[in-house]
A and B are shown apart, each in its own frame.
Chain A
């Protein structure tokens, strides 16, 4: 296990999150530390709070209480949240969530549009990522012409466009067949090891969780290191 091998990238302390005006508590005072270059699995059953924790770390949602610090920024503050999403975070969903009717290259470029990256630089980065992920032969194809695995690899490219330090992957293999799931997982693992990107993988599949550097079990809104 590589736990603790890099600088601290993100920290959650005593984070509480509930829905329906406090009637449903999803996270009950959880704490977590993430370091650069580590691949951490949030492993738990559906509805255990994995996605909610990812949303909080990614600044997509706000905690009821507790402290969060991600890449030196406070996701509770709006300006920090935007900066986090733009410069420091990449997000991969269970469903690829690519924009239909755009080509693979255009989908990968979307985060570059948000930060106003110059076109030439954007094109070079798209090419570099596509080659890295093995999608360079599909750049001009539309999303609807891709297989499930190719769509997910495109989504990973998009998440990496602005060179994030933290990649949050929410059940990225959940909608894929076994073999394609393995391929996507291997890709995420190699990114963590080669690019020293911290990758947090929310999954309910034990086989993937066990291959991560660290397993954090999520059950009934609480975390436990396995």
Chain B
């Protein structure tokens, strides 16, 4: 028998109690995994929408959200006219609703936008885009949940449109979106001649600083950010990330309380046994290690179960039509490591008081009431 055996035996002896601790941690892990995967997946999708074939993103300075950004046609023309620029693709974002579907993202883009070329066309073709007035083009997932086919008339917002084509896009947001020509989108959303953002492709990446300086000097009301720079500084991403971690950590705190409760019960129910261990030569550190060992095993089991639950929930969400392709779970290795570390820290923190209590049990005091 080794030290670990003693740890495991104590847990196995009170299986239900140990399972409650495991459940606390596993729910924390599952909650954090699910929330972070959804949020980072959503951020990733949004980043890919913006950065399609581009080096820089240009948008209105000091806006809280890109949906409120306005880059005028004059400014778009000025960007295109700059010597550093190979191509510039303006895009207007809007939110519309359809019967039974309260939130659908609408993209106003130009005919030459690269995403039309890259999509897998299921009906119609990129060449049809913007060819006839009153037409919209649907992402494959949008066509699925709107139950629309090419040539059908659909109600979107306050208008009726004919479905001009359907194309599959690997990006969940775009696949669940409605596309219309930029000019029609500007009219539909009453945005005059404004775009939300302009994706800029440079002739040479090294020309970036010159492009940025030149543009921002000429138009102090707009800002040009490298894609990487945009991802780290965009407020909405920061808020989403912060919220995800905050909610996850709150879930873990509840899990930690569960572990604390489990370990406290475990200590209280075997005060005499711990006293006997002390009599047999266990130091206070060894007794504390026993409790921390139990908490760590509970945490490890909780992480395993939590990952199983979390990944199952994500798989279900990803394949649920109601989520309209907005859930694209992405979980990076650092996030996984962060979740495991948070689980272990929570469990160990939850065991601090029980371990301290156990290590201070005085054998004579505990054995006196034999």
Contact = CB atoms under 8 A, between A and B. Distances in A.
Interface in A42-59: 51, 55, 58
B235 interface: no
Given A61-B364, A113-B1, A101 B279 contact: no
**Shortest 6 CB-CB distances between A and B: which pairs?**
A114-B281, A86-B281, A61-B364, A60-B364, A60-B363, A55-B364
Contacts of B13: 100-101
Contacts of A162: 281
B5 interface: yes
B276 interface: yes
Contacts of A110: 6, 277, 280
8 contacts: A60-B364, A87-B281, A91-B280, A99-B273, A101-B9, A106-B1, A111-B281, A158-B280
A102 interface: yes
Given A95-B370, A109-B1, A82 B273 contact: no
Nearest to A101: B13
Contacts of A82: 281, 283
A224 interface: no
B67 interface: no
B281 A115 contact: yes
Contacts of A100: 13
- The size bracket of the interface on B is 20 to 34
Contacts of B365: 61
A127 B308 CA distance: 44
Interface in B69-86: none
Contacts, number: 67
A170 B6 CA distance: 26
Nearest to B365: A61
Interface in A77-109: 82, 85-87, 91, 93-95, 97, 99-102, 105-106, 109
Contacts of B286: 114
B268 interface: no
A119 interface: yes
Contacts of B282: 113-114
A82 B286 CA distance: 12
B2 interface: yes
A31 B364 CA distance: 20
A97 B273 CA distance: 7
A61 B278 CA distance: 12
Contacts of A87: 281
Nearest to B279: A91
B271 to A, nearest CB: 12
B272 interface: yes
A97 B279 CA distance: 11
B12 interface: yes
Residue among B277, B278, B279, B362 having the largest count of chain A Cβ atoms under 10 Å: B279
B367 interface: yes
Interface string B3-24: 1011001001100000000000
Contacts of A105: 1
Contacts of A119: 2
Interface in A27-75: 51, 55, 58, 60-61
B6 A60 contact: no
B370 to A, nearest CB: 6
B279 A113 contact: no
B28 to A, nearest CB: 29
Given A60-B367, A99-B273, A85 B1 contact: no
Given A61-B362, A113-B6, A119-B2, A94 B281 contact: no
Nearest to B277: A110
A162 B282 CA distance: 13
B15 to A, nearest CB: 11
Contacts of B278: 60, 85
Nearest to A91: B279
Contacts of B1: 102, 105-106, 109, 113
A109 B282 CA distance: 12
Nearest to B9: A101
Contacts of B364: 55, 60-61
Contacts of B283: 82, 114
Given A61-B363, A91-B279, A97-B367, 4 more contacts: A60-B362, A102-B1, A113-B6, A114-B277
Nearest to A99: B273
B106 to A, nearest CB: 65
A85 B277 CA distance: 10
Given A60-B363, A61-B364, A85 B281 contact: yes
A85 B279 contact: yes
A1 B253 CA distance: 65
Nearest to B364: A61
Interface in B284-298: 286
Contacts of B277: 110, 114
A94 B280 contact: no
Contacts of A158: 280
B2 to A, nearest CB: 7
Contacts of A55: 363-364, 367
Contact of A58 (B5, B279, B362): B279
B280 to A, nearest CB: 4
A113 B3 CA distance: 7
A101 B282 CA distance: 19
